Structure 1
Amino acid sequence: MSTFITDPLSFPTSQAGDRPARVHQSNSGPSPAIRWGRWFDWAERRRQRLALRELADDKHFLDDLGLTREQALDEANKPFWR
Protein backbone atom coordinates (compact mmCIF):
# COMPACT_ATOMS: atom_id res chain seq x y z
CA MET A 1 0.00 0.00 0.00
CA SER A 2 1.36 3.41 -0.95
CA THR A 3 1.03 6.59 1.05
CA PHE A 4 1.12 9.95 -0.65
CA ILE A 5 2.24 12.93 1.38
CA THR A 6 1.12 16.23 -0.04
CA ASP A 7 2.27 18.48 2.79
CA PRO A 8 6.08 18.97 2.64
CA LEU A 9 6.12 20.03 6.28
CA SER A 10 4.96 16.56 7.31
CA PHE A 11 8.23 14.96 6.17
CA PRO A 12 10.45 13.81 9.03
CA THR A 13 13.32 16.14 9.73
CA SER A 14 16.75 15.11 10.88
CA GLN A 15 18.36 16.53 13.97
CA ALA A 16 22.03 16.85 14.88
CA GLY A 17 23.53 13.40 15.32
CA ASP A 18 20.72 11.61 13.50
CA ARG A 19 21.48 9.54 10.47
CA PRO A 20 19.90 11.11 7.39
CA ALA A 21 16.58 9.56 6.44
CA ARG A 22 16.61 7.68 3.19
CA VAL A 23 14.46 9.66 0.81
CA HIS A 24 14.75 7.58 -2.35
CA GLN A 25 14.13 3.86 -2.49
CA SER A 26 16.24 2.12 -5.10
CA ASN A 27 15.16 -0.94 -7.02
CA SER A 28 16.14 -4.32 -5.69
CA GLY A 29 18.13 -5.42 -8.75
CA PRO A 30 21.68 -4.62 -9.75
CA SER A 31 22.40 -1.48 -11.71
CA PRO A 32 22.26 -1.71 -15.52
CA ALA A 33 26.03 -1.22 -15.73
CA ILE A 34 26.57 -4.34 -13.63
CA ARG A 35 24.12 -6.34 -15.75
CA TRP A 36 25.87 -5.26 -18.98
CA GLY A 37 29.25 -6.05 -17.46
CA ARG A 38 28.08 -9.54 -16.59
CA TRP A 39 26.71 -10.00 -20.11
CA PHE A 40 30.06 -9.02 -21.62
CA ASP A 41 31.85 -11.43 -19.26
CA TRP A 42 29.55 -14.25 -20.35
CA ALA A 43 30.04 -13.44 -24.04
CA GLU A 44 33.83 -13.44 -23.62
CA ARG A 45 33.74 -16.70 -21.69
CA ARG A 46 31.64 -18.32 -24.43
CA ARG A 47 34.05 -17.09 -27.12
CA GLN A 48 37.04 -18.47 -25.23
CA ARG A 49 35.40 -21.85 -24.69
CA LEU A 50 34.50 -22.16 -28.36
CA ALA A 51 38.13 -21.42 -29.24
CA LEU A 52 39.32 -23.96 -26.69
CA ARG A 53 37.03 -26.59 -28.21
CA GLU A 54 38.63 -25.94 -31.61
CA LEU A 55 42.11 -26.34 -30.09
CA ALA A 56 41.25 -29.58 -28.29
CA ASP A 57 42.49 -31.71 -31.21
CA ASP A 58 45.85 -29.93 -31.54
CA LYS A 59 48.29 -31.51 -29.08
CA HIS A 60 50.94 -28.78 -29.56
CA PHE A 61 48.58 -25.96 -28.54
CA LEU A 62 47.35 -27.95 -25.56
CA ASP A 63 50.95 -28.61 -24.48
CA ASP A 64 51.61 -24.86 -24.65
CA LEU A 65 48.57 -24.27 -22.44
CA GLY A 66 49.50 -27.08 -20.07
CA LEU A 67 46.20 -28.90 -20.56
CA THR A 68 45.22 -32.40 -21.58
CA ARG A 69 42.57 -32.96 -24.23
CA GLU A 70 40.11 -34.10 -21.56
CA GLN A 71 40.70 -30.99 -19.43
CA ALA A 72 40.22 -28.75 -22.47
CA LEU A 73 36.97 -30.46 -23.45
CA ASP A 74 35.68 -30.41 -19.86
CA GLU A 75 36.25 -26.66 -19.71
CA ALA A 76 34.83 -26.09 -23.20
CA ASN A 77 31.64 -28.00 -22.33
CA LYS A 78 30.83 -25.89 -19.27
CA PRO A 79 27.89 -23.50 -19.65
CA PHE A 80 28.92 -19.88 -20.18
CA TRP A 81 27.42 -18.73 -16.86
CA ARG A 82 29.79 -20.90 -14.79
Structure 2
Amino acid sequence: EGFGFVYLEASAYGLPIIATRVGGVEDAVLDGETGLLSNPEKLDELKQNLLRLIENKKLRTEMSMRGQKWSAQHTWSKIAEEIYPDT
Protein backbone atom coordinates (compact mmCIF):
# COMPACT_ATOMS: atom_id res chain seq x y z
CA GLU A 1 0.00 0.00 0.00
CA GLY A 2 1.24 3.49 -0.76
CA PHE A 3 0.72 5.26 2.57
CA GLY A 4 1.23 2.61 5.24
CA PHE A 5 -2.12 2.42 7.02
CA VAL A 6 -1.13 -0.83 8.68
CA TYR A 7 1.49 1.11 10.63
CA LEU A 8 -1.08 3.67 11.74
CA GLU A 9 -3.39 0.85 12.80
CA ALA A 10 -0.62 -0.69 14.89
CA SER A 11 0.13 2.71 16.42
CA ALA A 12 -3.54 3.15 17.29
CA TYR A 13 -3.25 -0.01 19.40
CA GLY A 14 -0.19 1.39 21.16
CA LEU A 15 2.46 -0.63 19.35
CA PRO A 16 5.79 1.08 18.66
CA ILE A 17 6.81 0.40 15.07
CA ILE A 18 9.95 -1.29 13.78
CA ALA A 19 10.14 -0.97 10.01
CA THR A 20 12.33 -0.19 7.03
CA ARG A 21 12.29 2.98 4.96
CA VAL A 22 10.31 1.76 1.97
CA GLY A 23 7.12 2.88 0.26
CA GLY A 24 4.85 5.00 2.41
CA VAL A 25 6.36 3.90 5.70
CA GLU A 26 8.12 7.21 6.30
CA ASP A 27 4.78 9.01 5.94
CA ALA A 28 3.13 6.79 8.56
CA VAL A 29 5.96 6.34 11.08
CA LEU A 30 7.80 9.21 12.74
CA ASP A 31 11.32 7.87 13.15
CA GLY A 32 12.39 8.11 16.78
CA GLU A 33 8.93 9.30 17.85
CA THR A 34 6.34 6.62 16.98
CA GLY A 35 8.79 3.95 15.90
CA LEU A 36 12.26 3.18 14.66
CA LEU A 37 13.13 3.00 10.97
CA SER A 38 16.13 1.39 9.34
CA ASN A 39 17.50 1.21 5.83
CA PRO A 40 16.27 -1.95 4.09
CA GLU A 41 19.78 -3.03 3.07
CA LYS A 42 21.21 -2.68 6.60
CA LEU A 43 20.21 -5.72 8.63
CA ASP A 44 22.38 -4.67 11.57
CA GLU A 45 20.46 -1.39 11.83
CA LEU A 46 17.18 -3.32 12.04
CA LYS A 47 18.69 -5.59 14.71
CA GLN A 48 19.86 -2.60 16.77
CA ASN A 49 16.41 -1.01 16.58
CA LEU A 50 14.78 -4.23 17.77
CA LEU A 51 17.21 -4.55 20.68
CA ARG A 52 16.74 -0.91 21.58
CA LEU A 53 12.99 -1.34 21.97
CA ILE A 54 13.27 -4.70 23.72
CA GLU A 55 15.70 -3.31 26.29
CA ASN A 56 14.09 0.09 26.88
CA LYS A 57 10.63 -0.03 28.46
CA LYS A 58 10.49 3.76 28.85
CA LEU A 59 11.10 4.24 25.12
CA ARG A 60 8.41 1.66 24.28
CA THR A 61 5.92 3.44 26.53
CA GLU A 62 6.73 6.88 25.10
CA MET A 63 6.48 5.66 21.51
CA SER A 64 3.23 3.91 22.33
CA MET A 65 1.64 7.11 23.64
CA ARG A 66 2.97 9.25 20.79
CA GLY A 67 1.85 6.67 18.24
CA GLN A 68 -1.70 6.66 19.58
CA LYS A 69 -1.86 10.46 19.34
CA TRP A 70 -0.30 10.43 15.85
CA SER A 71 -2.68 7.79 14.53
CA ALA A 72 -5.70 9.67 15.92
CA GLN A 73 -4.77 12.53 13.57
CA HIS A 74 -4.99 10.23 10.54
CA THR A 75 -8.40 8.57 10.73
CA TRP A 76 -10.39 7.81 7.58
CA SER A 77 -12.86 10.58 8.40
CA LYS A 78 -10.08 13.17 8.81
CA ILE A 79 -8.46 12.08 5.56
CA ALA A 80 -11.81 12.29 3.76
CA GLU A 81 -12.32 15.82 5.13
CA GLU A 82 -8.94 16.85 3.71
CA ILE A 83 -9.72 15.35 0.30
CA TYR A 84 -13.37 16.48 0.15
CA PRO A 85 -13.60 19.59 2.35
CA ASP A 86 -16.94 20.80 0.93
CA THR A 87 -18.97 17.63 1.48
TM-score, normalised to structure 2, is 0.22
Larger RCO, structures 1/2 (Cα 8 Å, 6+ apart): 2
**Of Structure 1 and Structure 2, which has the larger fraction of its residues in helix?**
2
TM-score, normalised to structure 1, is 0.23
**Of Structure 1 and Structure 2, which has the larger fraction of its residues in strand?**
2
Structure ID, larger Rg? 1
